[in-house]
A and B are shown apart, each in its own frame.
Chain A
Amino acid sequence: MAAEPAATTTAGKAARVACAHCGLDVPPGLVVEGAGNQFCCAGCRTVWDVIYGHGLERFYRIQESSGAAAMPALTTGRRYAEFDDATFRDVWTREVEPGVRTAELYLEGVHCAACVWLIERLPRVARGVIESRLDLRRSLVRIVWDERGTTLSAVARALDSLGYPPHPARDSKSREARLREDRKFLVRIGVAAAAAGNVMLLAIALYGGAYSGVEAERGAFFRWVSLAFGMVSLAWPGSLFFRGAWAAIRTRTAHLDLPIALGLGAGAAAGAVNTVLGRGEIYFDSLTILIFLLLVGRWIQHRQQRWAADSLELLFSLTPRFARRTGGEEVPVEALRVGDVVEVRAGESFPADGTVTEGESAVDQSLLTGESRPVPVAAEARVCAGAVNVSRPVKVRVEAAGDDTRAGRLMRLVEEYSRRRAPIVQTADRIAGWFVAAVVALAGATFIVWLRVDAAQAIDNATSLLIVTCPCALGLATPLAVAVAIGRAARAGVLVKGGDALEKLARPSRILLDKTGTLTEGGCAAIEWEGDAEVRALAAALEASSSHAVALAFQHDAPARGVHRIEHVLQTASGIEGTVDGRAVAVGSAAFASRRVAAAPAWAHAVHERFASRGLTPVWVTVNGNVAAVAGVGNPIRPDAAAAVAELRHRHWSTAILSGDDPEVVAAVARRVGVPPEDCRGSVTAEEKVAIVEEEARRGPVVMVGDGVNDAAALSAATVGIAVHGGAEASLAAADVYLSRPGLAPIVGLVAAARRTLRTIHVCLAVSLAYNGVAAALAVTGVIGPLIAAILMPLSSLTVVLLAFWSPTFGEPPCR
């Protein structure tokens, strides 16, 4: 971290000192007198050395000219030994030719044009690298290297030393499949555009001819060419709609493709017949443009959703995928076997289920169980994959790895529920069903009525009705409105995987909130403090030397090291004591503290009871044999939680809490955020959460908000699952929406935006239906001429497109 302002402090150095690498201020303590280049952190120094060492200093000029904001280097100094493991090689890398392999890696810290330049100069930093290509948007680099010249771990170390820690990119197969799908879609759009453009040119000639006269022979020629282009457009890009319609018929569901296919089919049939017979309208200009516009609309929506999915994938890849065998050897998690002994350092998560063989520490299982307090572990204690080792390194004997772990089993539940969940029927599709019925009925009626007048006229009017009512605007409105909303949401820090989720959030329903990590923040802190405020710093200074679970709660208050003189520290399971600046300080449980005072005062007992009843852990602080303060330790509630819950309730959402933590703690949090106590459930296991969500889902839509592995299955079982910032990997996989910023305010923003999006869709639909209604009336009565139809159709599309873009779907967040 380098952003500490350097000015105004210490030793006559009034001027700011800029870091030679990132340009941010160097903290005064790190300024080296007399040195030419100053660095804000070790990472920046490493990167600067590497860049100058390889003659790549142009990087700084490019960065300057690109105007990108500076970022301190992210080097980790890891060895990346697991990148050379045989399992890793099989899973993540591919051979291009004998001895030459390629791999895709996600990089942290990629942010600007200069990064592209530096990363693509990798062959000059790491020998044996043949090529290095970066995809800036995805932060994905493709490395081709010569196995005889280097190892992948060396390449990874080189990237790390440049300030871009690499992570293996998962799912390269599914990414390739998606890439192929994207290309196919683009080809479709290209073909549709070419066909539409050419038919349009011919149509201008034909419309012109209709007024000024055209030789019959030449007119027929133009019509035949139009037919050819039209058929290409229908058979290739247009086949998408016919396939969609066929699938809808087979599964007996309404889909927007159905009326589109109906209109396209009727138009094509009439156009072909009229071309052959040499009379009437041929419609191919309208049809080809229609196909093109619909494809473009879908493509835009598709891109936005893909972008959200890519961002999520990047997050996935940042979770650690390696384990450290004893002896320091790093291996990929996939290579772990039962019986292996792994070392887990403080701050790392356990790679597998197992038993502690050596060391003592505290384990934060909040992501797995929802339990808010870290649990102390010692030898023979069981630990689960996904839990975080909080305080000290421990060694663990692996008992279950991969899919056999508790987290792995929960992931299988997630998959099962996401398969079982019924798809959400979108508004446009629901309307499409009625639309088809109405249009077909109307066409039939038109045909019968006109049959009495003239058979040929009856066919003409019925088909022109089918074509004119073809829901071009209807098909454009929904994807565009959704794409605009998803794009704006992403900028506001909300990643939405699919448009259907957005639609479900538009109407108030029931929202189930997880407690730990969702309503409250992840770690512990001393939330309440009753007594001498000055003692707080002393207690924090003393606790800074401990790694006990409760001690970590004081770390936010801890003054800088060296401010206080700390001596004679003695630590037991229930507390810690020592002298701080000559005063005897003890911090610990009530029993631990009362042994150090003559008589505990009544107020301390009263405060103790009060804290305990609120679900906080009371911690006593004594100074020189007197009780100086009582602290209440617990998960701090997110600052915006109460406001967000109030806003949701104001918008008629019914809120409830579903937590794996102790019911008393849950009730205490519920009171603070304003959820009625009868809607709170504590001590709920992951399986029970699913059961509750399913039960609720039978009664109506349920939105589940959570962060943990224990929430994942419930997230996938819910109508819409929302994973909050900092959640477990499993919850990301299961959720439909991911908040990339901390706090609950984004949920309120999302709900409001979803509502506005649905309103936009409705307005667009109303406008396009009005157009269709007018056009249909004209067609039924036979008033409508080909020219009017040709003008009306693009006009309705244009109105809808403008409406979708202009409506403020994701404007200012209403909650603040």
Chain B
Amino acid sequence: MSVIYVLVPVASVLAIAAVWAFIRAVRSGQFDDLDTPPVRMLHDDEEEPRAEKKAGPE
């Protein structure tokens, strides 16, 4: 059962990694607007018309 002395630190490191990822997500603004993205993702999958691809060297 002394494996616990390894598992607990490993679990703690994982927890710290998760918190770090969360903080990064918050700071990059992913939680600023929670209403638009669920709507936006419904539109994104459809292909843009060909005219757009020609005109879009920007």
Q: Which residues of A does B touch, CB under 8 Å?
A: 55, 58, 62, 66, 113, 116-117, 120, 123-124, 130, 134-138, 146, 179, 182-183, 186-187, 190-191, 194, 197-198, 201-202, 218, 221-222, 225, 228-229
Which residues of B sit under 8 angstroms from A191, Cβ to Cβ? 19, 23
**In the complex, A120 Cα to B52 Cα: how many Å?**
14
| Closest 9 pairs (CB-CB, A-B) | A113-B39, A137-B35, A136-B36, A190-B22, A117-B43, A136-B35, A194-B19, A135-B33, A186-B26
Which residues of A sit under 8 angstroms from B42, Cβ to Cβ? 62, 113
Q: Per-residue CB proximity of B36-58 to A under 8 Å, as 1/0?
A: 10011011001001011001001
Shortest B26–chain A CB gap in Å is 5
Residue of B18, B31, B36, B49 touching A55 (CB-CB under 8 A) = B49
Shortest A65–chain B CB gap in Å is 8
Which residues of A sit under 8 angstroms from B5, Cβ to Cβ? 221
Tell me whether B36 and A116 are in contact (CB under 8 A): yes
Residue of A55, A130, A187, A198 touching B26 (CB-CB under 8 A) = A187
Residue of B12, B18, B32, B58 touching A179 (CB-CB under 8 A) = B32
Given known A-B contacts A116-B39, A116-B40, A137-B35, A190 and B15 have beta carbons under 8 A apart: no
Tell me whether B32 and A218 are in contact (CB under 8 A): no
Tell me whether A194 and B15 are in contact (CB under 8 A): yes
Which residues of A sit under 8 angstroms from B33, Cβ to Cβ? 135-138
**In the complex, A186 Cα to B42 Cα: how many Å?**
27
**In the complex, A314 Cα to B43 Cα: how many Å?**
26
Which residues of A sit under 8 angstroms from B19, Cβ to Cβ? 190-191, 194
Interface residues of B in 1-15 (CB under 8 A from A): 1, 4-5, 8, 11-12, 15
Q: Which residue of A lies closest to B11 (CB)?
A: A198
Which residues of A sit under 8 angstroms from B23, Cβ to Cβ? 187, 190-191
Shortest B47–chain A CB gap in Å is 11
Q: Which residue of B lies closest to A115 (CB)?
A: B39
Which residues of B sit under 8 angstroms from A229, Cβ to Cβ? 12
Tell me whether B31 and A183 are in contact (CB under 8 A): yes
**In the complex, A205 Cα to B16 Cα: how many Å?**
21
Which residues of A sit under 8 angstroms from B4, Cβ to Cβ? 218, 221
**In the complex, A130 Cα to B18 Cα: how many Å?**
34
Q: How many A-B residue pairs have CB under 8 A?
A: 77
11 contacts across the A-B interface (CB closer than 8 A) = A113-B39, A113-B42, A124-B55, A136-B35, A183-B26, A187-B23, A190-B26, A194-B19, A221-B5, A221-B8, A222-B8
Known: A117-B43, A135-B32, A201-B11. 13 other contacts (CB 8 A): A55-B51, A58-B46, A116-B43, A135-B33, A137-B36, A183-B27, A183-B29, A186-B31, A190-B23, A197-B15, A198-B12, A225-B8, A228-B12
Tell me whether B1 and A218 are in contact (CB under 8 A): yes
**In the complex, A202 Cα to B1 Cα: how many Å?**
15
**In the complex, A176 Cα to B29 Cα: how many Å?**
11
**In the complex, A290 Cα to B52 Cα: how many Å?**
54
Q: Which residue of A lies closest to B52 (CB)?
A: A124
Which residues of A sit under 8 angstroms from B39, Cβ to Cβ? 66, 113, 116, 136
Q: Which residue of B lies closest to A127 (CB)?
A: B55
Which residues of B sit under 8 angstroms from A197, Cβ to Cβ? 15
**In the complex, A62 Cα to B42 Cα: how many Å?**
9
Which residues of A sit under 8 angstroms from B12, Cβ to Cβ? 198, 225, 228-229
Which residues of A sit under 8 angstroms from B55, Cβ to Cβ? 124
**In the complex, A182 Cα to B34 Cα: how many Å?**
13
Which residues of A sit under 8 angstroms from B43, Cβ to Cβ? 62, 113, 116-117, 120
Shortest A311–chain B CB gap in Å is 14
**In the complex, A116 Cα to B32 Cα: how many Å?**
16
Q: Which residues of B does A touch, CB under 8 Å?
A: 1, 4-5, 8, 11-12, 15, 18-19, 22-23, 26-27, 29, 31-36, 39-40, 42-43, 46, 49, 51-52, 55, 58
Given known A-B contacts A135-B33, A221-B8, A130 and B58 have beta carbons under 8 A apart: yes
Tell me whether B18 and A194 are in contact (CB under 8 A): yes
Which residues of B sit under 8 angstroms from A222, Cβ to Cβ? 8
Q: Which residue of B lies closest to A218 (CB)?
A: B4
Which residues of A sit under 8 angstroms from B11, Cβ to Cβ? 198, 201
Q: Which residue of A lies closest to B33 (CB)?
A: A135
Most B CB contacts (10 A, CB to CB) among A117, A179, A221 go to A117
Shortest A511–chain B CB gap in Å is 36
**In the complex, A179 Cα to B28 Cα: how many Å?**
11
Tell me whether A120 and B8 are in contact (CB under 8 A): no
**In the complex, A154 Cα to B51 Cα: how many Å?**
22
Shortest B37–chain A CB gap in Å is 9
Shortest B9–chain A CB gap in Å is 8
Which residues of B sit under 8 angstroms from A66, Cβ to Cβ? 39
Tell me whether A182 and B32 are in contact (CB under 8 A): yes
Which residues of B sit under 8 angstroms from A55, Cβ to Cβ? 49, 51
**In the complex, A135 Cα to B35 Cα: how many Å?**
7
Tell me whether A198 and B32 are in contact (CB under 8 A): no
**In the complex, A136 Cα to B36 Cα: how many Å?**
5
Which residues of A sit under 8 angstroms from B36, Cβ to Cβ? 116, 134-137
Shortest A59–chain B CB gap in Å is 10
Tell me whether B40 and A120 are in contact (CB under 8 A): yes
**In the complex, A66 Cα to B23 Cα: how many Å?**
33
**In the complex, A221 Cα to B18 Cα: how many Å?**
23
Q: Which residue of B lies closest to A124 (CB)?
A: B52
**In the complex, A198 Cα to B9 Cα: how many Å?**
11
Which residues of B sit under 8 angstroms from A137, Cβ to Cβ? 33-36
**In the complex, A117 Cα to B12 Cα: how many Å?**
43
Shortest B7–chain A CB gap in Å is 11
Which residues of B sit under 8 angstroms from A198, Cβ to Cβ? 11-12, 15
Q: Which residue of B lies closest to A120 (CB)?
A: B40
Q: Which residue of A lies closest to B39 (CB)?
A: A113
Shortest A5–chain B CB gap in Å is 32
**In the complex, A222 Cα to B1 Cα: how many Å?**
14
Q: Which residue of B lies closest to A225 (CB)?
A: B8
Which residues of A sit under 8 angstroms from B58, Cβ to Cβ? 123, 130, 146
**In the complex, A58 Cα to B23 Cα: how many Å?**
37
Most B CB contacts (10 A, CB to CB) among A136, A138, A182, A222 go to A136
**In the complex, A136 Cα to B41 Cα: how many Å?**
13
**In the complex, A89 Cα to B17 Cα: how many Å?**
43
**In the complex, A479 Cα to B29 Cα: how many Å?**
26
Which residues of B sit under 8 angstroms from A202, Cβ to Cβ? 8
Shortest B10–chain A CB gap in Å is 12
Shortest B45–chain A CB gap in Å is 12
**In the complex, A117 Cα to B51 Cα: how many Å?**
17
Q: Which residue of B lies closest to A228 (CB)?
A: B12
**In the complex, A753 Cα to B40 Cα: how many Å?**
37
Which residues of B sit under 8 angstroms from A130, Cβ to Cβ? 58
Q: Which residue of A lies closest to B2 (CB)?
A: A218
**In the complex, A191 Cα to B21 Cα: how many Å?**
11
**In the complex, A136 Cα to B32 Cα: how many Å?**
12
Shortest B48–chain A CB gap in Å is 9
Shortest B6–chain A CB gap in Å is 12
Which residues of A sit under 8 angstroms from B27, Cβ to Cβ? 183, 187
Q: Which residue of A lies closest to B58 (CB)?
A: A130
Shortest A177–chain B CB gap in Å is 13
Shortest A770–chain B CB gap in Å is 36
Shortest B53–chain A CB gap in Å is 11
Which residues of A sit under 8 angstroms from B18, Cβ to Cβ? 194
**In the complex, A136 Cα to B35 Cα: how many Å?**
6
**In the complex, A146 Cα to B5 Cα: how many Å?**
58
Shortest B38–chain A CB gap in Å is 9
Shortest A213–chain B CB gap in Å is 13
Which residues of B sit under 8 angstroms from A218, Cβ to Cβ? 1, 4
Which residues of A sit under 8 angstroms from B32, Cβ to Cβ? 135, 179, 182-183
**In the complex, A516 Cα to B13 Cα: how many Å?**
66
